[in-house]
Chains A and B, each alone.
Chain A
């Protein structure tokens, strides 16, 4: 388990969290390579099926991260995302997924330091939690 490197899929919005990731990069802040960023225009466009697909394909964790409440570039996309995460957090644990594997955060465009910090924390959490059940099964 010591050598376990979790795969973390992060859907990040173009306007806030992706910009924060960019800032973290240009500021030469370290964050683990376990995070795979997927840039989307808004967290409001992340359909639950993308998250389900990521898990079934073997992601150990899925992170959705967008603008703080009130800051959404499209006014309310992040509120819609929050409802969908609430929904998935009801559905997925029923099938043995640890609810900690699905995360939603708000990271603003200027929060480069916070972005790197959250990515480090999340990676440590997933290392502690161990591999997701999807890795072991012939499930697509």
Chain B
């Protein structure tokens, strides 16, 4: 875990440099494919692509403020069984954290994948990105990159980052095999390439890039971003707790939920093949609804919305990585991420667990000890 190298940007923009770097990765031994986000014509949608031909990477764009899905699900789909070759996967830090959760939940395998992450610049909400990208997505991305480096995206673009990105404490992945650094470097001069595992080291060894050192300045810039985001996160927690601290307020919070389950589909760690909420268990008899209505005089339709969200909180909050795709997917703009992150923070703390932190840390609900949590037993406490 030693190699820290750089890619000089002389005469290139960072997207071209990344495209070249990924093409070189594809040419190294063992790596037969690369999963990487690319801009797709004509609408500039940025989606994950699985590429085997190094000449088909011209749309590579991991810097675009677009986050249409958490690609850890795609990575899991591609790695759950041996695919017949090693794949490099370019993922955002939150996607890598979700991928680590999926490995621990036996939905993905680490063996055949090389994880590459680029310093995350953040993303807009889905609808905003398409407006922002307009006709020339590449130019928009490069402008966005400069604005992020100068720290003035909101003023320059008139757009706000997605709340999940504003509250994110992990703009740089700790678990990628290779981390590509952008923060704290001279904009336009070079980008950093750092091996963080032995697997990453082996690849960078083959690539023979000029070596460099990670500067203190880079660390300072990253720490500054983290502390700003943590501040936003903490006030978001306070506001959300205040907005949901009774069942009545919770009902209001989720009042416009239509049981579309988009948040569950978009959630990278909600992995059940068949969710109980789409089974016949919830296909109640008409008489059941009448019975409920008679008991209370009035019931809100559709039913089972709060039940669904509370159950999902119990089932997956210990694995929540806070990527915000639930909010992105909601058709009625319910701040789902805000609540799930608030609760997830508490549940993960209760089990001294951090989702996506490491493969070694056992998921709280997959393990137990004989002598623990005595405080929840009995009727006197």
Known: A56-B307, A87-B318, A121-B379. A137 touches B248 (CB 8 A): yes
In the complex, A95 Cα to B309 Cα: how many Å?
12
Q: Say yes or no: B241 contacts A94, CB within 8 Å.
A: yes
What CA separation (Å) do A133 and B247 show in the bound complex?
Answer: 7
Q: How large is the interface on B (under 10, 10 to 19, 20 to 34, 35 or more residues)?
A: 35 or more
Is A48 on the interface with B (CB-CB < 8 A)? yes
Decide if B313 is an interface residue (CB 8 Å cutoff). yes
Q: CB distance B304 to A95 under 8 Å?
A: no
Specify the main secondary structure of chain A where it touches its partner: helix
Q: Among A80, A91, A140, which residue has its beta carbon within 8 angstroms of that of B317?
A: A91
B245 and A95 contacting across the interface, CB-CB below 8 Å: yes
Pick the contact of B246: A76, A95, A106 (CB < 8 A).
A95
Question: What is the total of A-B residue contacts with beta carbons within 8 Å?
Answer: 118
Chain B residues within 8 Å of A89, by CB: 376
| A82 contacts chain B at the CB level, 8 A cutoff | yes
- A104 & B376 in contact (Cβ 8 Å cutoff): yes
Other-chain residue from B346, B373, B376, B378 in contact with A94 (beta carbon distance below 8 A): B346
Bound complex: CA A90 to CA B343 (Å): 8
Please determine whether A91 and B310 come into contact, CB atoms closer than 8 angstroms. yes
A125 partner residues in chain B, CB cutoff 8 A: 379
Q: Report if A1 contacts B (CB, 8 A).
A: no
A85 and B244 alpha carbons, distance in the complex (Å): 21
Contact B248 A133 (CB under 8 A): yes
Give A65-101 as 1s and 0s: 1 = Cβ < 8 Å from B's Cβ atoms.
0000110000010011011111111110011110000
Contacts A96-B246, A96-B247, A125-B379 given; indicate if A82 touches B368 (C-beta within 8 A): yes
Specify which of B299, B318, B369, B377 is in contact with A138 (CB 8 Å cutoff): B299
- Quick check: is A128 within 8 A (CB to CB) of the other chain? no
B350 touches A86 (CB 8 A): yes
B314 and A49 contact, CB distance less than 8 A:
yes
| B274 contacts chain A at the CB level, 8 A cutoff | no
Whether A95 contacts B244 by the Cβ 8 Å rule is yes
A contact residues, range? 35 or more
Q: By the criterion CB–CB under 8 Å, are B315 and A118 in contact?
A: no
A109 interface contact, C-beta 8 A: no
Contact B379 A138 (CB under 8 A): no
B273 interface contact, C-beta 8 A: no
Does B298 interact with chain A (Cβ within 8 Å)? yes
Flag if A134 contacts B247 (CB, 8 Å).
yes
Residues of B within 8 A of A36 (CB): none
In the complex formed, the residue of A with least CB distance to B244 is A95
Within 8 A of B (CB), among A123-140: 125, 133-134, 137-140
| Given A137-B251, A139-B300: 18 more A-B contacts, CB < 8 Å | A49-B311, A49-B314, A52-B310, A56-B307, A76-B368, A80-B365, A83-B351, A84-B365, A86-B351, A90-B343, A90-B350, A91-B313, A91-B346, A95-B246, A103-B379, A104-B376, A133-B246, A138-B300
Q: A residues touching B (Cβ–Cβ < 8 Å)?
A: 48-49, 52-53, 56, 69-70, 76, 79-80, 82-91, 94-97, 103-106, 118, 121-122, 125, 133-134, 137-140
Q: Would you give 14 A-B contacts (Cβ < 8 Å), ordered by A?
A: A49-B276, A53-B307, A82-B377, A84-B365, A86-B376, A91-B313, A91-B346, A94-B343, A95-B245, A103-B378, A103-B379, A104-B377, A138-B298, A140-B292
